Amino acid sequence: MSYQNQLAVLFESRGNISNFQALAQRLNVPLRQSTDSNSEAFFLTWRDGCLKLLDKELLKKGGLSVDIEPRNGEQRSYPAPKEGTFSQAIGRKTKTVIDATTGWAQDSLCLFRMGYDVRCIERSPLMAELLADGFERLARESWVQKLERSPPLLMRGNAIELLQNLESPPDCIYLDPMFPPKRKKSALSKKSMTILQELVGEDLDKTELFAAAFSATAKRVVVKSPDYAQPLGGKPSESFAGKLLRYDVYLKH
């Protein structure tokens, strides 16, 4: 995946420049020391102890990083209670989950806090760098160290290929593919999703991904989708609906 003319690593004269050089080399993008007169619309840099993604609107606002804190309304205790439509869809008896479309990892981290054994797949090299940074920060959290837990395992690459080569099938494979917005001109509500779609694009192979997931899982595939979208794998075994989204569950008998 090429980010040429889209992305650069930004060194703001803070930290060890060799880390910035290594990141730019891994992603095959330029290293910049200024955003002036550059063609790139997006930048990666370390700020406030986090690897952050910025566009020119966010340069003065801090940027976006993988947020390892619980979302609003989520329990801060560990393990968090398995309540609501999300955990119902994943299954209370489920132990191992692969999130095959990790993105910003908010669902993966929610599953981790509920006590599931989570593995994450991310094919975007850019998002994989942000995820690795977030999981490293999570490993340093006092509650994670006290409980001797390891953060989710990050698997880099194409999920369709990786799922075909698993050593052992997980209880559940979770899919949250990007669907096109309901109206062509409608803006995505969150800045993080807008940037993700601009840099990564839509998941045009989600039908093939579902087939790979259903073949690779031991018990179930769960697909998160907007309420207007057709079920990805045909009629689900069961479905759990929220206000604007739906979890379709496909059980493997």
Q: pTM of the entire structure?
A: 0.91
Distance (Å, whole) CA 89 – CA 94: 10
In tens digits, what is the pLDDT along the chain, a chain of 253 residues? 778 888 999 999 888 999 999 999 999 999 999 887 678 889 999 999 999 999 877 777 778 999 999 877 777 778 888 889 999 999 999 999 999 999 999 999 999 999 999 999 999 999 999 999 999 999 999 999 999 999 999 999 999 999 999 999 999 999 999 876 665 544 444 677 777 777 776 667 999 999 999 999 999 999 999 999 999 999 999 999 988 899 999 999 8
Consecutive H or E run containing 32: strand 31-32
Cα gap 154→195, rounded to integer Å: 21
Among 223, 221, 205, CA closest to 161: 205
Domains of the chain (ranges; CATH) run 7-55 (no CATH), 84-251 (3.40.50.150)
